[in-house]
Amino acid sequence: MNRSFIGLLILMVFGVWACGSDQDDDGVVPVDNLDPGGDGNGDGSVGTGAVPCENGMAGEFPCNGYDLLGRIEHSVFSAGEGNDIWGWTDSTNGKEYALIGLDNGTAFVDISDTDNLIYLGKLPTATTSSIWRDVKIYQDHAFIVSEANGHGMQVFDLTRLRDVADPPQNFSADTRYTDIGNAHNVVINEAVGFAYPVGTARNDAFGGGVHFVDVQNPISPTGVGGYGGNGYTHDAQVVTYAGPDTDHTGREIFIGANENQIAIVDITDKSNPTLISNLDYSQLGYTHQGWFTEDQRYFLLGDELDEINFGFDSRTLVFDLTDLDAPQLHMTYTGPTAAVDHNGYVKGNEFFLANYAAGMRVLDISAIGSRSISETGFFDTFPSNNNASFNGVWSVYPYFESGKVIINDSNTGFFVVKKSE
């Protein structure tokens, strides 16, 4: 069996798919009349209260340098499990919202007042439930894909969250792009107004690679091609390039985590995408996800199966992309636990890593050029253990100006944390 098959098989075996007993035949769990606050008023409020990180603990959760501001269990959303997470800030009023991926839909929570988180409602899955769901935003719209068969890409106008009567509501999508069926992930380059669903059906026109979808008019997505020259793409980042390699300045660059390689592709001309380079690395398990440093020189990559396959502690590989045509392995960072690394995002000189059973880990990358990375904080939402498994934190979102970080733990729920003062 090849690596891609093994990787998917392991993910499916270890993933826990749970659905409520009140689920409809189509996989949708109704949220009508839900009162998560338990106060009888049905306003969607969830008073959670902050718990500071003191002596290495925030209540029941191990921590270092991050306080718990709020938490909601997935059962409040009538869901069995969580997955991806993203955030939206309303430019008209500064309110902050969490977009929470669930096995059977996407929940929307107003986190502006962390003493009173407000569950505004849920957009049910377009077809059936799936443990894989992903969401990104562009022009105040959420774009949501799932591994659920025939799901396509839901588009939801986030400005509808500004004034929700009697939350939580059962929302419907504003439109749905159906030129794809299932997709593992979606990437958006906001600078050009294109969405890039990846991890689609392996027998489609691009072999499960990347689809190019024009979303400059968010409620009228239009497919304009794709690229599958390097096989199936599990995850990716797309940037308008402003890094050190001046040969590619201003070009739209796709960096795909393609199961057994990284693929760097110029996709500026959607009718003629061009491979720049591809690379692999030693002890490769499953090339999963990565993110550029803000100067676009270094690319931090997580391999989802290397800890399990080779038995070492959490590993982050750092590639020097000074020359996009000839990328080099720059360094390897090894974390303090055996937990599997999942999704990681760079904000300034920090790397926020969803480290499954070890929770969210925060790494100082200010000295990355000198091959030095150190852990400066963490919040462990899965206190049971730090084993190499697929339990725990699926993803994090660290980009709110307030400094709040939102976390979606597949097992223990949704969390809002913030660096201790």
Average pLDDT of the chain is: 91
pTM of this prediction? 0.90
DSSP class of residue 369 equals G
Both tokens of residue 393? 């934190």
Position 419 scores a pLDDT of: 98
Higher pLDDT, 412 or 13: 412
Burial environment of residue 360 by CB neighbours within 10 A (0 to 12, 13 to 18, 19 or more): buried
The SS3 assignment for 329 reads strand
- Judge: domain 3-419, CATH 3.90.1150.10: no
Using the predicted structure, report yes or no on whether residue 1 has a pLDDT greater than 80.
no
Strand segments, DSSP code E, in 281-327 are 287-292, 298-303, 315-320
How large a percentage of the chain has pLDDT more than 70?
A: 89
Name the residue among 212, 204, 199 with its Cα closest to residue 259: 199
Distance CA 153, CA 131 (A): 16
44: confidence class by pLDDT, cuts 50, 70, 90: confident
Burial environment of residue 317 by CB neighbours within 10 A (0 to 12, 13 to 18, 19 or more): buried
84: confidence class by pLDDT, cuts 50, 70, 90: very high
Check if the beta carbon of residue 202 is closer than 8 Å to that of residue 231.
no
What is the pLDDT averaged over residues 100-122? 97
Please state whether the peptide bond connecting residue 168 to the residue before it is cis, i.e. omega within 30 degrees of 0. Answer: yes
DSSP character string of 210-248: EEEEE-SSTTS-EEEEEE-TT---SEEEEEE--SS-GGG
Q: Residue 258: how many CB atoms within 10 A of its CB?
A: 26
Burial environment of residue 8 by CB neighbours within 10 A (0 to 12, 13 to 18, 19 or more): middle
At which residue do the structure tokens 């038995």 appear?
A: 311
DSSP class of residue 167 equals S
Q: Find residue 142's DSSP bridge partners.
A: 137, 156
Least confident of 6-10, 167-171, 316-320, 345-349: 6-10
Position 46 scores a pLDDT of: 74
Distance CA 132, CA 212 (A): 21
Check if the beta carbon of residue 351 is closer than 8 Å to that of residue 335.
no
pLDDT digits (tens, 9 = 90+) for 206-253: 999 999 999 999 999 999 999 999 999 999 999 999 999 999 999 999
pLDDT digits (tens, 9 = 90+) for 117-149: 999 999 999 999 999 999 999 999 999 999 999
Distance CA 117, CA 45 (A): 6
User: Phi then psi for 326, rounded to 5 degrees?
Assistant: -145, 65
Using the predicted structure, report yes or no on whether residue 43 has a pLDDT greater than 90.
no
- Give every CB contact of residue 249 below 8 A, 6+ residues apart in sequence: 241, 242
Using the predicted structure, report yes or no on whether residue 200 has a pLDDT greater than 90.
yes
How large a percentage of the chain has pLDDT more than 90?
A: 88
